Structure 1
Amino acid sequence: MTIAQERTLAAQVRADFPILDQEINGKPLVYLDNAATSQKPQAVLQALQHYYEHDNANVHRGVHTLSSRATDAYEGARDKVAKFVNAASRQEIIYTRNASEAINLVSNAWGLSTLKQGDEIILSVMEHHSNLIPWQLVAQKTGAVLKFVELTETEEFNLEQFKSLISDKTKLVSVVHVSNTLGCINPVKEICAIAHQHGARVLIDACQSVPHMPVDVQDIDCDWLVGSGHKMCAATGIGFLYGKLALLRSMPPFLGGGEMIADVFLDHSTYADLPHKFEAGTPAIAEAIALGAAVDYLMGLGMDKIHAYEEELTAYLYQRLAELPEVRTYGPKPTEDGKGRAALAAFTVGAVHPHDLSTILDQAGIAIRAGHHCTQPLHRHLGAQSTARASLYFYNTREEIDVFIESLKEAIEFFGSIFG
């Protein structure tokens, strides 16, 4: 597609996102905090409203019409998610509250029942806290050992070091697909192949990849993959775990309660088949249905088209950032056509604190992130207390990048006059 064709994607979808049509501090909103959470299209908002207005009932438990309609929509959304990531079976998709819960499900149900003293878990220094703390807790309880892949000179996943770390003692590799700070796209398919040669399982944190590019779990050949609805145009409070069917069947339940049972006696219980074995209690019904609507929306646009458009935006964002010598970006630089990294830029500006920078930009109507982005160990590794981060999605435009850059220039000049 040409640049002119690419530009039409944002123009095509902007009207679908009512939140974008507003002013902040008297300025048109420029929302560049998409790595934290995406905005929601009308189709998702309408799915939430329709459920509560027309179909509100508990799922699986009733034979009346409302319950039947709610169940059909809830389970239909599972089919959509399975297709979205190309799972081999709908039973391989488990609804969770978020990706953090999905990782905790695996760490508790598989990790605590499988790992033992001296087993090794390989993570990377770029992991989100959600893919670090659960494994710290498992290691403390089981005696497993944590090992960490560091960065290359271009601040990417060090695959050669990974090859040197892994051994037959390695039982799990758990890595992010796309770093929410560095923006690097990790070679997860190759990581899985290497890990499996050593008999290790692999979990992929796909929170920053599933919303932005085609993800095929069968092609990657991961054992588990987690995603978060609110980063992919869906509501908060819903995420999902993909797991290989036989592996999920071998895992004990994570939570106990209603829905996840087959038969209950006073002294013991038997458990439901997948996926319900891992979905105790009344689920987030409306949120799951809205997740299905978000998947419909994204697939209607085409994940290839979304990814290609974001590559164009990324190339332009970095082209404009390069005009500012005071700005230090983190992670690999994109190629001229924007390939090789995600559509975000974490950066610092000399001695200016990112929180101060974000506050000034907010006065211009521009929403960016500031802080450690739930990657404190990575920031220590980089020697940065915190960073500012501008992150894009398919409804952003080049014009918004221009507004961001001009406001960033003004902020740099302002702080320059203070710091001398």
Structure 2
Amino acid sequence: MRTVADALHDRHRDQLKRSQLQAHPLLTGCAPWVIRRVAAVADEVLFPPGELLAEQGRTPGWFLLIRSGVAEVARNGALLGVVGAGDHYGEVPLLGRGAHPATVRAITPVHAWVIGAQRFVPLVDDVRPIRETLAASLAAQPALVAAARAELASRIQSMRREGSNTWPGIRPPRRRRSVRVLHVLAAIAMFVAVAVGAAAMYHPPYAVIRPGPVVDVANDIEISGAAVHPIHGRYLLVMVHTERPTLLSFATAAILGHHRPVEHVTALGGQPDVERQLHGQFTKSQQDAALAAAAALGIRPSASGALPFTVRFRDRDVVGPSGGLVYALAIEDMLSGADHAHGRTVAATGAIDPAGDVIPVGFVDDKAIAAQRAGAQVLVSPTSEVYLAADSGVRVVGASSLREALDRLAASN
């Protein structure tokens, strides 16, 4: 029997779902009834690193609204770029009546709202704002629409060729084999020995993720053109460490669960173009952090986008946008003198936009362990990912904006 608490929990979950959907750029500004229609057919799905979101040449099965994470887009083996938080994918093959024109593979954990094809097409037909937005998207991508239709035509021709060589009712004769059991066992034993030896030497195209190092970002920030106050405490950027093991070590890690195996794409230089883009995301996260900190203090950039002060950052070999929140916290503390750290070691992870909104990232559970090992008293993370760090042994504070993060830190002093 359902209780009042169950009903309240479901109501809160539905409200959270609708608010998260409304925050997606495709749906921002849509009327509440539109959000409710989308929420009724959208399911939240987590794609682990390495999993395919779409495969070139395949019939489309769903439409994606990406909440967080990064995925690479490749066509015929050539990298086209990456998609991430705020992007959407799938309207080209679904509405353009084609197959997937490219393969989309998760690089980091990708949180997405997924709408099945059978529900997506009626939704677009019924909801005019979404229909008009996606129609404009298709009109802006004629080459991709043509590629999707070409992929479908190629697949149909391939199926016809295969069908023409298949004769129903005629099966090849079954071969009879008489192999002694001892010979089979000997062959298996030899194969296992060779396989174990090879596994101990071969490095597969995968990485193993584990809690990584931490960096006090206060030592990375130099501000000029404004009064700067000392930080009383530390602000830690928490990271994950990747390594490329042998196949034997990789299998052991995967089976025993000591570390997390993911597809080796960027962290070890597997795709230089993607690696450069992800490093660019880290640099942009620092710039967005400065803008977000200024916004929190009521400082507006000029018409050209320049701030009345200059922030310089130490260059680090780090990829991804997840350092944005901790840099914003440190910059705001240095400019305001509010002493939000209050002598504590504060760790934080989360991307941030120039307006100060906090965006979910990946590997929060591993980063929480790194924070705990570094002696952090508090870990600030995106609100939707607090549960991932619940068992880390460090106090976790959730925030959906920089302002909320600052208020939560002040309240926990």
Tell me the TM-score normalised to structure 2 length: 0.26
Higher relative contact order structure (alpha carbons within 8 Å, sequence separation ≥ 6): 1
Higher gyration radius (CA): 2
Structure number having the greater strand percentage: 2
Query: TM-score under structure 1 normalisation?
Result: 0.26
